[in-house]
Each structure stands twice: as C-alpha cells, then as structure tokens.
Amino acid sequence: MLLMATSRNFMKTLLILLLCFSWIKAQCPSDPKTIEPCQCTSSLPGQEELVCNGPIGLVRLTTVLRNEMCGRTIGKFKLTLSDIEYLPSNLFFKIIVRDIQISFTYISHFTKAGRSAFFGLEPYLQSLSMRRGKLVDDLDWQKIGDLHALTYLDLSFNNITRIPLDWFDHPPPNLLSLILKGNKIKTLESGSLSHMHELIELDLSDNQIHSVTRDFFSWPGNAMIFLRLNDNQIKTLPMDIFDEMMGLRRIYLDNNQLESIPEELWSPIWTDLEILDLRGNPLNCNSTSVDWIAALRPPLHLYGSCQMHLVH
C-alpha cells in the first residue's frame, strides 16, 4: 500500500512538472524560424525573453509580434540596432509584455496615427526603456498615463531638449523611477512633474540644465529619495528647492557651477541625507559662511571641497 501511494504521488508530481514545462515551451514558438531574425528563450515561467537584434524592418517586426507571438506572455522584449523609425499603433496589442527595452534605433516617435503603440499593455507593462534613440520633444506621450502598472521609465541618451507640460499631465499612477540622463535638456518648465507624487527616483544628469525651480517638482514631493542633477550647468539653487521634499536621501550635484552652500537651503534636509556629492563645483568658502556645516551632523557620505580666496 505504501509503495502504491508513493507511486501515485510520484506520478502526480511528474504530471505537474510536465504541465509546467509544456506551459513554458508554449510561451516561445516551437519553430524558431517563424520569428527570425528575432530569438525567443525560456528559463522560468514569466521570464521568457524575445530579442530582435539588427535590421528587421517594420513589416517583419509587426508580423512577429502580432502573428507569431500572438496570445503569448513574455517577460522581456528587446529591440536593438533596428532600422525602424517609429512604433506603429497596437504593436503589442495581442501579447503580454512586462519589460520593453529598445536601444540604438532610429525611432523618433511612437505612432503616426491610431492608438498608442503600447495599447493592450496597460495592466501589464512594468518597465519601459527607450535609450540611445532619436526621441524628440514633440512625442505624443500623453497616452502613457494609461500604463497603470508602469514603475520604471528610461528615456536616456535621446534628442530631448525639454520636458513639455503635457507629457506628464496624466502620468502613470505608479511610476517610481524616471530616467532622462544624457539628453539635451536645457529648461525645466514649471509644473512639468507637478503630478508625479509617487516618484522616488529622478535622473536628469548629463544634460544642459542651467537652472531649476521648486515648481518643476510635485508638491509635496516627500516620496522622492534619489535626485540626480550632476553634470549640468547649474549655477544656483533657489532657497525653497527642497521644501516639502523631506524624503530626499541621496543628491548628486557634482560637476555643475555651484559656488556656495547656503545654510537656509540645505539645513532642512542636511541631517537626513545619506549622500551629497558636490565634487567638481567651484565652491567658494568666502561666498557664504560654512561654519554651520560643522554644527550639524553631516551626510554619511559628503563629497566636495571649497577654496578660500584671500582678500589682499
């Protein structure tokens, strides 16, 4: 009896494993040639990866995603070194994708007409990265607010020169990280991120920003922890820049043109900071008193130095 029970348990376990493995295989086509030049790999359920590397053409890409991958769930889709110039509407309508990574392409806009390129992914897409492309300021970006599951958005190293007010007037409600590193942004328009109350991380490093005002951010902005403004051309910060931003823990302002460290600006968040990087700034010890820094507990990691200019 014990042997029979053990045998039945073994058969149940084997059946469950077979069902699991058959489901995993079902996420990638059985014939790899049907999705060439793309490749699909499976490791664990929900971790399937579809990679399209190199010239593919818009017609072929659409065929692969709408026909060959129809009804499937993939964890990650990668499009690299592609020759396509835009993402057509409803491109992902018939599949479920959790993570989209697009890089080194000629894509300058999303759709020429119709619905959003991400239509159908509203409850599913968690991460969207479109790096090192040709994205510009006049993107039809408003529909991205319908991506309710999106937590990570990376538009680094494109041709963006500003953040228009209407881009994030209706932002993804659960967006936590916004990465705009390495663009050509010069101006941060008032109110551009005023509706992004849940944002934890903002990266505007390696741009051409001259100034920043408090009304660029949400009010309150206490959710934000990481702020990267390094490698810009910022000369001064307004005294209210960190008002109602008490969650800030790591601020990167290295390689700008800051000359002073005013107590009024920094003291409200000074003792709560973990990292403050001010290296590469022409800080002048004479321009403002720095005695207050010694009186307060400094950030755990404080980087930077100032020069004392002697008056003759």
284 band by pLDDT with thresholds 50, 70 and 90: confident
**What percent of the chain clears pLDDT 70, i.e. is strictly above it?**
86
Please tell me the predicted confidence (pLDDT) of residue 45. Answer: 67
Please tell me the predicted confidence (pLDDT) of residue 102. Answer: 95
CA distance 63 to 37: 12
Inform me whether the pLDDT recorded for 281 exceeds 60. yes
Contact criterion met (CB below 8 Å) for 252 and 229: yes
Residues 284-290: contacts with CB under 8 Å, at least 24 apart: 284/259, 284/260, 284/309, 285/309, 286/311, 287/259, 287/260, 288/260, 288/261, 288/262, 288/263, 289/263, 290/261
Inform me whether the pLDDT recorded for 173 exceeds 70. yes
Please tell me the predicted confidence (pLDDT) of residue 109. Answer: 78
pLDDT per position as a tens digit, 187-241? 888 999 999 999 999 999 999 999 999 999 999 999 999 999 999 999 999 999 9
Q: What angle do CA 169, 216, 231 make, to 5 degrees?
A: 120
pLDDT per position as a tens digit, 106-137? 888 776 655 678 889 999 999 999 999 998 87
Inform me whether the pLDDT recorded for 260 exceeds 80. yes
CA distance 168 to 194: 8
Please tell me the predicted confidence (pLDDT) of residue 35. Answer: 93
Q: Calculate the average pLDDT of the chain.
A: 85
Confidence (pTM): 0.86
Please tell me the predicted confidence (pLDDT) of residue 48. Answer: 87
10 band by pLDDT with thresholds 50, 70 and 90: very low
Contact criterion met (CB below 8 Å) for 257 and 233: yes
CA distance 230 to 215: 19
pLDDT per position as a tens digit, 15-34? 433 333 343 335 788 899 99
